[in-house]
Structure 1
């Protein structure tokens, strides 16, 4: 359940970053949004990987 939510969040953040860029937002806002999208994607994917335990 959590990996799915993280990947959904990543999609929303990617869309937000693209939208911010198109609207001419500051570079900082776009970069922060994009970095959060990457972190959410990485978290979702890593959670799905088979782990020890």
Structure 2
């Protein structure tokens, strides 16, 4: 699942950059960027060794 989240994060980062370059409203760029950050953090945390893994 961690790998899937990191792949999603990459797609979202690309989407954020594309929205920015196209002059999309700032709110759309910020929301997409925040989702990319959340997916990245989630993916990294999922891959960390922890209890019960």
TM bracket (short chain): over 0.9
Q: Distance in 2 between matches of 1:38 and 1:15?
A: 12
Q: Which runs of 5+ in 1 are unaligned?
A: none
TM-score, normalization: structure 1? Answer: 0.95
* Residue number in structure 1 paired with 2:31: 32
Task: Count residues with an aligned counterpart.
Answer: 52
Q: Distance in 1 between matches of 2:3 and 2:49?
A: 15
Q: Which runs of 5+ in 2 are unaligned?
A: none
Aligned residues: CA RMSD: 0.5
TM-score, normalization: structure 2? Answer: 0.95
Q: Kindly report which structure 2 residues correspond to 1:14-33, keeping only aligned pairs within 5 A, or say none.
A: 14-33=13-32
